[in-house]
Structure 1
Amino acid sequence: MSETAIDTARLADWMDAAALPGKGEPLQTRFLSGGTQNVIYELRRGEHSCVLRMPPPGAPPDRDKGILREWRIIEALDGTDVPHTEAVAVCADASVLGRPFYLMGFVDGWSPMELADRRWPEPFHSDPQARVGLSYQLAEGIALLSKVDWKAKGLQDLGRPDGFHERQVDRWTAFFERIKGRELDGLDTATEWLRARRPLDFIPGLMHGDYQFANVMYRHGAPAQLAAIVDWEMGTVGDPKLDLGWMVQSWPENTDTPGESEMSYVDMRDMPSREKVVEHYASVSGRQVDDLDYYLVLAKWKLAIVLEQGFQRAGDDEKLLSYGPIIVELMRSAADLAESSDYR
C-alpha cells in the first residue's frame, strides 16, 4: 500500500499538548506498514520513539471505533503479565490527523511474518531445541491473556460473553449467506454439529480473535521470549479457548513429517506436537481442554467463511484467488472432525 501522508506539525503540536516526551525536538516519521484497515508509523523525537496506528483515509467509518477499541485493550493490558505493546497515548479527535489514532511503545523484536523463505532467525533455525520455545511461548501468550481480570480492567462492555457460542454460529452462517457464491462441501455438517454441541458453560475471558504466529513478536536471541501480542482488531470478551482452537487448527499432528510442516506459512519442523502445545496452554491458563474438538471445528469452520469473503471478491487478485482450495480443505476438515470426534 502507498504511504499515507501525516501532518507532522499538527501531530507534534498534539504530542506537546499531551505532555509526551521529546517536546521541542524535531518529529521524524517512518512508514512501517499499511493496509486497508490500518497504517503504522514509527515516530522519533530525540531519544524517544513510539509507534502510531490509525485507519487510512479510505477505511470504512467504523474503523474509527475499532481503533479506539484496540486502544482500550492494550491500555487494559498495562500492569499484566501479558506480553503487549506499551499504551502511550490516544487521540479520538479526527481533526488532528483526519482519523482517530493511538501511540504505542516500539517493540525491539522480530515478527514471524518477516521471515525470508520461512527461515527462522538464528539461533532458532539451526537449534531445534531453541525453536521449540517459540511454540510454547506462542501458547503461553493467550494462556496469560485468558487470565486477565477483564471486569477489573473496565472491559465489561467490550463483548457479550452470554450467548457467545450461539451468536458465533448464527452470525457467521448469516454472513456466509450474504456473500455466498458457491456451495462448500461440509458446511451443513459442521454447522449442525456446532449447533448441537455448543458448550453449555465456559469461563469468559479476554480473547484476541486472530491468534497465530502472524500476530506476535519475539525478542531477539534465545531463549525464545514473546515480546508482544499485536493487531487487536478482533479483540473481545468471549470464550478464550476459541483463541486456542484458532492457533492450533492447522498445527501438524506430526511436525517431523515434511509434507505436514510445509502447509504452514512458517517452518513447523521440529516444533512440539499439537498435543504438547495444548497441554502447555492448559497448564498456564488453568483451563481444561477436554472439549478442544469443539473449538477446532469452530475455528476451521469460521476461518473458511472469513476467507471465503476475500475469495468471492478476488477478481484478478492472485493472493485472494489462492484462498479457493484452502477454504474447501478447511471446511472439509471441519466436517471430517465433526463426524469423527467423540466429543458430545
Structure 2
Amino acid sequence: MSTHDELVRPDRLGPALAAATGDGRWRTLRAALVSGGKSNLTFLLSSAAGELVLRRPPSGTLLPKAHDMAREARVQRALAGTAVPVPQIVFEDLGGDLLGVPCYVMRRVPGHVLRDSLPDGYAPAAPDKVAMADALVDVLVDLHALDPYTVGLSGHGRPEGFYARQVATWYQQWQQSKMDDVPAIDALVAKLRARTPRDVRAAIVHGDYRLDNCLLDRHNPGRITAVLDWELSTLGHPLADVGMLLFYWTESGEPRPVLTPALTATAGFPGRRHLVDRYVARTGADLADLLTFWAYAHFKFAVIAQGVWTRSLAGTMADQDFGDLSHEVVRIAERGLELLENAA
C-alpha cells in the first residue's frame, strides 16, 4: 500500500462514495495529492465516474481546534446557493470512522488555481489582471454581506470579543508549536493586545482569503468559480479578511514569501491600494482599524508558518518538505511589528 493509499484508504473510501453518489464506478478509485496545501491535505480522486476532491487533516498529532473538517463542510453547505461560489459536498465522515480522521469529499469545480505563474495565454493583459483582482474583492464583499444567521451559521463563531480572542488563540497555537523564542512574535503580540478595534456587524469571515484559495474561470479571469479552504472560517470582524488579503497580496520589489505565491508582484497586477479602494467603494467600510488587522495577519501567518514547519519535520504532510522556515517566521513577524511601529 502506498503512502497516499494509507491516507486515503481507497478500499474503504471507494465503496462509501459509491453508496453516497449512487454510482458503483466509485468503488475503484485513484488518489493524487494536490500540492500546495500547507494545513489540511487535498487529494484529487478519479474513477470511471469522473473526479471528486477529498479533504482530510495531516497525519500525526494535531493542535487543538486545528484542521477542522466539520467547520469546512458546514460553511460550504450553508453557502450553497448564495452569491459566494463553493463546491458541493457529496460525502462527509466527520466522526473519523472511515479514514481514522474526519474527512469530506466535494465536487471538483472547473477553474484555475493561480499560484506562481499564469497558464499560457491566460489573462495576458493588465486589464485581465485588474479584473481578477476586482473579482476577488467582489466575492469577499458578497461574503461579508451575507447574514450568517439567515444562512444557518449562527453557531459558527462568537463575534463578541472576536479580535482579542483571535490574538489569544493564535498565541496559544504559537506556544504549542514553537521550537525557540522569537522576540519579534512577543513584541508583536504585545502591540496587538494594546489595540481594541471597534465593533462592527458580525460577518462570515473566511479566515484565509487569498487568490490561490479561489478557482478562476478558465475563460474569464474576472469570474471566480469557487472559494476553497474554509478551515479557518468563523463569525467576526470583516476587516480580518481584508487584512489577510493584503498580507498575501505581494507587490513588486517586496521579499518573495517562502510558503505562499507572489504572482501578484508580477507586471500588470494592481497594488494593495486598488483592492482597498474597491472594497470601500462596494461596502462603505470604515478602515480606521485596517492597519491593526493587517498587522494581525502577519502574526497569524507567522504562527501558521511555524506549524507548517513543525508538521513537515514530523513527517505528517504526505512527504511534502517545506525546509527550514525559522527565518521566514521571523521575517513575517518583524514586518508586522514594523507596520504598527511606523503607525505609532
TM-score normalised over the length of structure 2: 0.81
Structure 2 CA distance for aligned equivalents of residues 70 and 80 of structure 1:
16
Superposition pairs of residues 147-186 of structure 1, within 5 angstroms? 147-186=145-184
Aligned to 2:317: none
Match of 1:303 among 295, 301, 304: 301
Contact 2:17 2:27 in 1 (8 A): no
1:129 maps to amino acid: P
Alignment RMSD, CA only? 3.3
Structure 1, unaligned runs of 5 or more: none
1:42 to partner: Cα distance: 2.4
Structure 1 CA distance for aligned equivalents of residues 71 and 310 of structure 2:
28
1:174 to partner: Cα distance: 3.6
Contact 2:291 2:339 in 1 (8 A): yes
1:166 to partner: Cα distance: 1.3
Aligned to 2:113: 111
Aligned to 1:4: 5
Superposition pairs of residues 42-191 of structure 1, within 5 angstroms? 42-44=45-47, 46=49, 49-55=51-57, 58=60, 60=62, 66-92=68-94, 94-113=96-115, 118-124=116-122, 126-191=124-189
1:151 to partner: Cα distance: 1.0
Contact 1:78 1:87 in 2 (8 A): no
1:260 maps to amino acid: E
Superposition pairs of residues 182-261 of structure 1, within 5 angstroms? 182-252=180-250, 255=251, 257=252, 259-260=253-254
TM-score normalised over the length of structure 1: 0.81
Identity across aligned pairs (percent)? 26
Counterparts in 2 of 1:80 and 1:312: CA distance versus 1, 3 Å: closer
Counterparts in 2 of 1:68 and 1:172: CA distance versus 1, 3 Å: closer
Structure 2 CA distance for aligned equivalents of residues 286 and 324 of structure 1:
39
Aligned to 2:33: 33
1:266 to partner: Cα distance: 3.0
1:212 to partner: Cα distance: 1.7
Counterparts in 2 of 1:55 and 1:168: CA distance versus 1, 3 Å: closer
1:298 to partner: Cα distance: 0.9
Counterparts in 2 of 1:12 and 1:139: CA distance versus 1, 3 Å: same
Aligned to 2:262: 266
Structure 2 CA distance for aligned equivalents of residues 312 and 65 of structure 1:
15
Match of 1:294 among 292, 295, 317: 292
1:234 to partner: Cα distance: 1.4
Contact 2:40 2:55 in 1 (8 A): no
Are 2:323 and 1:326 equivalent residues in the alignment? no
Structure 1 CA distance for aligned equivalents of residues 276 and 326 of structure 2:
29
Structure 1 CA distance for aligned equivalents of residues 185 and 59 of structure 2:
37
1:159 maps to amino acid: G
Higher relative contact order (CA 8 A, sep 6+): 2
Structure 2 CA distance for aligned equivalents of residues 58 and 181 of structure 1:
18
Aligned to 2:337: 335
2:79 maps to amino acid: L
Counterparts in 2 of 1:197 and 1:94: CA distance versus 1, 3 Å: closer
Counterparts in 2 of 1:312 and 1:112: CA distance versus 1, 3 Å: same
How many residues get paired?
330
1:185 to partner: Cα distance: 4.4
Counterparts in 2 of 1:261 and 1:285: CA distance versus 1, 3 Å: farther
Structure 1 CA distance for aligned equivalents of residues 87 and 309 of structure 2:
32
Structure 1 CA distance for aligned equivalents of residues 105 and 310 of structure 2:
35
